[in-house]
A and B are shown apart, each in its own frame.
Chain A
Amino acid sequence: MRVVIAEDLTLLRDGLIRLLTAYGLEVVEAVDNGPSLLQALLHHKPDVAVVDVRLPPTQTDEGLRAAVEARTRVPDLPVLVLSQHVEQLYAKELLAAGGGGLGYLLKDRVSDVNRFVDAVKTVAAGGTVLDPDVVNQLLSRHSNNRVLQNLTLREREVLALMAEGRTNAGIASRLLITDKAISKHINNIFTKLGLLPHDDDNRRVLAVLTYLNEMVP
């Protein structure tokens, strides 16, 4: 799996390269600024990019903007954005164009190596991975809106964990219920969100996106 990394701090960049290489991913290019990132993304069209939000030359949200820009030119280019802090605003902008293959995580999550590599692979496979902090903010703060009111408490929990990018087995172990029960909940969620079986290939992503669009006005 070919990866492009964008991180301006050498220590972290080398760490990321070592980590992903150790898990059998191939880092095709590692850049340290926004313009080179855009170039690298358009040139390599990697299977997934791991991108820091704040990059030179502006030291603002250069990485985020390069990622959004690259995705308008190469639709569905999988990008996992890492940040020292998470903002609903950034999550909304990333997801505004729709499509899967997106992730937005706190940098801290890198230290849970297994889950981080899972997240990278999920994004590469077209899934959506959101930081639990973002999901929590959304859940706790916008609890009285249309879509969510139709869902039971348990279904909301399941949807939140889906938004974090967990698999059915992951959700099951987290909520301490069986895989079968999870599938049942997920089917109910699909029905309530009006997602029909024929777009089954991407219903998971669509469910998360619907949820986000509803949550982030």
Chain B
Amino acid sequence: MSGKMGWGRRAARVLAACGRGLTQALLSQFAGVPLLVGSLLSIIFLPLGIGVVTTPLVLKGVRGFTGVQRRWAREWSGVPIESPYRVLPEPQGGLLARIDYCMRLVKDPATWRDLLWLGLNVPVGALLGVLPFALLVNGFGGILVAPFLVALTHAHHLYWILNIPLGALMLAVGLTGSPQIIKGHALFSSALLSPTRRLLSERVDSLTDSRSHVVDASAAELRRIERDLHDGAQARLVALGMNIGLAEQLIEQDPATATALMVEAREHSGLALTDLRNLVRGIHPPVLAERGLDGAIRAVALSMPFPVEVRIDLAGRPQAPVESAMYFAVAEALANVAKHSAASRAWVQLAHDHGRLVALVGDDGIGGADPAAGGGLAGVERRLAAFDGVLVVSSPSGGPTTITMELPCALSSPKT
């Protein structure tokens, strides 16, 4: 396959590999080492207090750096590396919340695997990074400089003569193997920067668990819909038919009663519609169908008894089930704010980033929200878990409360 590649493209590939290797070698020393040292010092100084401020900053740098490496591994060598981090709430103003945030960061196994990678990358990154460039330079040196020296010195020194085939060999390896060397570095990174097997098996467990929740929940939901239709709209439509039938009979001999029956029939039809409308809202809100998440969340925000600031940044629409799950999650979170928080204002942010749909719902209320206590937030947690999503609540007593909801998903291209 590489035999069919043109010389120009092959040279470009080799040169790109050299440049990429050198970039990685330089970064492994000049960015990796300071980040590693900074992180370790910050974590060591956590008990002294200063680490509480610096740890999130340095670890953010580490995640940024390893994030770049993950992206490069995928883009340069086709080695996909998933992000292994646990979801964290945004750090809040309070000291306790900051400490809690640091501890969550430090307890995340992915943090330590990042740091281990940083350490090992000091030699590995330097070696693998410099190798393509070194092979080419030495190879050219061997075949171009050595014959010249042999001619110049007239010395039949074995060392110079041996240099020629050695140079040729290095050049050959350098020209054909450079992209593979870069791929080697990507594979090395993948070993440490990917989610661990345990993380994956935990995920399988939680998916199995959430699937059974979903099955139960949807069966219960269908029963509820059946019951609501049976007791509500269906019964009203029967009454409606009866009234109209009776009015038909009476219209000649007792027009007054017939009219009264018709009025009643009309009222029944109105009530049946209201029943159906409420039912539909619970299954799939019409405004969501018409406007997508953006409009539907704005509509919910408008209906809250306090001002809600909404910021939504979506370039397309998620798949319908994800969209619906996120809508109900945000709506429930806002309803929770209205019911329990005593907040005077709230805000909603929604964005799609790195394959995840992320919603933040915050308020300035009294805090103390806890999904473990059951109720609305626990329902949201289950609903999101069904899609491998997560709910993180940061709600210290006294407030403020921030609820982070994440769903992995892709966006379809924007509606034209």
A interface list, Cβ under 8 A from B: 53-54, 59-61, 84-85, 87-89, 92, 107-108, 111-112, 137, 140-142, 216-217
B230-252 contacts to A, CB under 8 A, are none
A60 adjacent to B299 (CB under 8 Å): no
> Knowing A141-B303, A141-B304, A142-B305 touch, does A89 contact B270 (C-beta < 8 A)?
no
B interface list, Cβ under 8 A from A: 266, 269-270, 273-274, 277, 280-281, 286-287, 289-291, 295, 298-299, 302-305, 307
> What residues of chain A lie closer than 8 Å to B295, measured between beta carbons?
89
A108 adjacent to B307 (CB under 8 Å): no
> What residues of chain A lie closer than 8 Å to B287, measured between beta carbons?
85, 87, 89
A-B contact pairs, 30 of them (CB 8 A): A54-B290, A59-B289, A60-B289, A61-B290, A61-B291, A84-B277, A84-B286, A85-B277, A85-B280, A85-B286, A85-B287, A87-B299, A87-B302, A88-B299, A89-B291, A89-B298, A89-B299, A89-B302, A92-B302, A107-B273, A108-B270, A108-B273, A108-B274, A111-B269, A111-B270, A137-B303, A141-B303, A141-B304, A141-B305, A217-B307
CB distance from A97 to the nearest CB of B (A): 18
> What residues of chain B lie closer than 8 Å to A85, measured between beta carbons?
277, 280-281, 286-287
A60 adjacent to B291 (CB under 8 Å): yes
B302 adjacent to A88 (CB under 8 Å): yes
Alpha-carbon gap, A216 to B302, bound state (A): 7
Given contacts A60-B290, A89-B291, A216-B302, 17 further A-B pairs with CB under 8 A are A53-B290, A54-B286, A61-B290, A61-B291, A85-B277, A87-B287, A88-B299, A88-B303, A89-B287, A89-B298, A108-B269, A108-B270, A111-B266, A111-B270, A142-B305, A217-B302, A217-B307
Task: Kindly report which residue of chain A lies nearest to residue B297, judged by CB atoms.
Answer: A89
CB distance from A38 to the nearest CB of B (A): 17
Task: Kindly report which residue of chain B lies nearest to residue A145, judged by CB atoms.
Answer: B307
CB distance from B304 to the nearest CB of A (A): 7
List 10 tightest A-B contacts by C-beta distance, closest first: A89-B299, A60-B290, A88-B302, A61-B290, A108-B273, A141-B305, A85-B286, A87-B299, A111-B266, A108-B270
Alpha-carbon gap, A53 to B298, bound state (A): 18
Task: Kindly report which residue of chain A lies nearest to residue B276, judged by CB atoms.
Answer: A84
CB distance from A9 to the nearest CB of B (A): 14
Alpha-carbon gap, A140 to B303, bound state (A): 10
> What residues of chain A lie closer than 8 Å to B304, measured between beta carbons?
141
Alpha-carbon gap, A58 to B304, bound state (A): 29
> What residues of chain A lie closer than 8 Å to B281, measured between beta carbons?
85
Alpha-carbon gap, A84 to B270, bound state (A): 12
> What residues of chain B lie closer than 8 Å to A140, measured between beta carbons?
305
Alpha-carbon gap, A59 to B292, bound state (A): 12
Alpha-carbon gap, A176 to B291, bound state (A): 41
CB distance from B315 to the nearest CB of A (A): 18
CB distance from A61 to the nearest CB of B (A): 4
Task: Kindly report which residue of chain A lies nearest to residue B273, judged by CB atoms.
Answer: A108
CB distance from B298 to the nearest CB of A (A): 6
> What residues of chain B lie closer than 8 Å to A111, measured between beta carbons?
266, 269-270
Task: Kindly report which residue of chain A lies nearest to residue B338, judged by CB atoms.
Answer: A141
> What residues of chain A lie closer than 8 Å to B266, measured between beta carbons?
111-112
